[in-house]
């Protein structure tokens, strides 16, 4: 398929580069380092080769979210956003941008989001999971009440928010001890992000801000498969769930969330996700440079879905959500 739009595609600046190193052995890091620092070279050649018209770029992880000092986080976010905006200006027909945000301070994050959307032309924001606030051991999730004024700004600007994974802190990851292979994209990324997303759904956030649109990668971080059980656990017990939200969790998943195929190139997973949320809320992505563009594109271009769904997932859903020109 030609004209695909990919929207979980990452870059790094010198200040955040080493955040990605720990996920790769030294011999592989040489390759990944070259990939993540490149924007206009090999990346564009691969886009051309595999039918990707536009990439929506975002900063690597955990980056800003792992800087406990709010002022420093804001400074690095602004630096990364200015760098990315300049890169997009060089090839505006091929790239768009998601803002990095200093969510250690919701007011600073709201101001930076406004600057990025209104002044730099960015089409949304991406945060790498929870933020460390004040010190490395104190964390904040974005369902907490201090973030609701930030969400009001996000809704007012009418741009989506991508909730991207990060690993749990070591003190919260005892279950992985002795099994480090389960960290990162194998399992811990998805578990951490799925619980964060469920917190957002159950908090009442979307009752207060019903137009908010959140994006999850990796075919929904396993949530499509589990959503029925989330809403129907022990269905014979009255009032089993007690949370502030007014509706079933599945309602918010189907109305306030979008899903990408980043790093999960599985046709059974895609078909299952389509059955849960519909083809209008799924979008193609590769997760470059941490996954391969050719793996994503070759799979998607022949996946056993209808051509109308392929066009929606590969292109038109992203055009609509990000308000891009066709």
Using omega within 30 degrees of 0 as the cis cutoff, is the peptide bond preceding 55 cis?
A: no
CA separation (Å) from 237 to 228, 241, 242, 247?
A: 16, 9, 12, 17
- Spatial contact of 136 and 170, defined as CB atoms under 8 Å apart: no
Count the Cβ atoms, other than its own, within 10 Å of residue 97: 28
Q: Which residues pair with 297 in a beta bridge?
A: none
Instruction: Give dist(CA 43, CA 291) in Å, integer.
Output: 12
CA separation (Å) from 245 to 183, 201, 203?
A: 31, 7, 5
Three-state SS letters, 43-112 = HHHHHHHCCEEEEEEEECCCHHHHCCCHHHHHHHHHHHHHHHHHHHHHCCCCEEECEECCCCCHHHHHHH
Q: Is 169 helix (H, G, I), strand (E, B) or coil?
A: coil
Three-state SS letters, 186-205 = HCHHHHHHHHHHHHHHHCCH
Radius of gyration (C-alpha) of the chain in whole angstroms: 19
Taking alpha carbons only, the member of 28, 31, 30, 35 closest to residue 11 is 35
Reported as half-sphere exposure (CB side, CA atoms, 13 A), residue 153 has a value of: 20
| Structure-token pair, residue 166 | 């990060």
| Structure-token pair, residue 283 | 């979008």
In terms of DSSP bridges, do strands 161-164 and 125-128 run parallel, antiparallel, or are they unpaired? parallel
- Catalytically active residues, by annotation: 287
């Amino acid at each position: 398929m030609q004209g695909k739009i990919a929207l979980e595609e990452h870059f790094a600046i010198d200040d955040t580069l080493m955040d990605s190193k720990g996920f790769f052995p030294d011999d592989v890091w040489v390759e990944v380092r070259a990939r993540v620092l490149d924007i206009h070279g090999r990346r564009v050649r691969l886009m051309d080769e595999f039918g990707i018209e536009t990439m929506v770029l975002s900063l690597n992880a955990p980056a800003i979210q792992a800087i406990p000092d709010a002022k420093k986080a804001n400074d690095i976010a602004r630096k990364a956003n200015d760098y990315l905006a300049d890169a997009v200006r060089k090839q505006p027909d091929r790239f768009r941008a998601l803002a990095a945000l200093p969510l250690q301070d919701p007011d600073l994050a709201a101001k930076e989001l406004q600057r990025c959307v209104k002044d730099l032309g960015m089409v949304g924001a991406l945060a790498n999971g929870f933020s460390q606030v004040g010190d490395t051991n104190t964390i904040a999730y974005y369902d907490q009440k201090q973030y609701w004024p930030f969400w009001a700004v996000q809704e007012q600007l009418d741009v989506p928010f991508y909730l991207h994974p990060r690993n749990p802190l070591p003190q919260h990851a005892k279950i992985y001890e002795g099994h480090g292979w389960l960290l990162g994209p194998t399992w811990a990324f998805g578990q951490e992000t799925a619980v964060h997303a469920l917190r957002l759904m159950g908090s009442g956030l979307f009752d207060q801000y019903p137009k908010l649109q959140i994006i999850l990668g990796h075919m929904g971080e396993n949530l499509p498969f589990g959503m029925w059980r989330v809403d129907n656990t022990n269905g014979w017990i009255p009032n089993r769930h007690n949370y502030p939200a007014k509706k079933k969790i599945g309602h918010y998943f189907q109305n306030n969330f979008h899903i990408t195929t980043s790093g999960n190139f599985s046709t059974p997973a895609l078909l299952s996700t389509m059955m849960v949320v519909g083809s209008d809320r799924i979008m193609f992505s590769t997760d470059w440079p941490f996954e391969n563009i050719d793996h994503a594109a070759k799979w998607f271009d022949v996946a056993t879905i209808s051509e109308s769904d392929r066009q929606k997932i590969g292109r038109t859903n992203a055009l609509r959500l990000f308000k891009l020109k066709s």
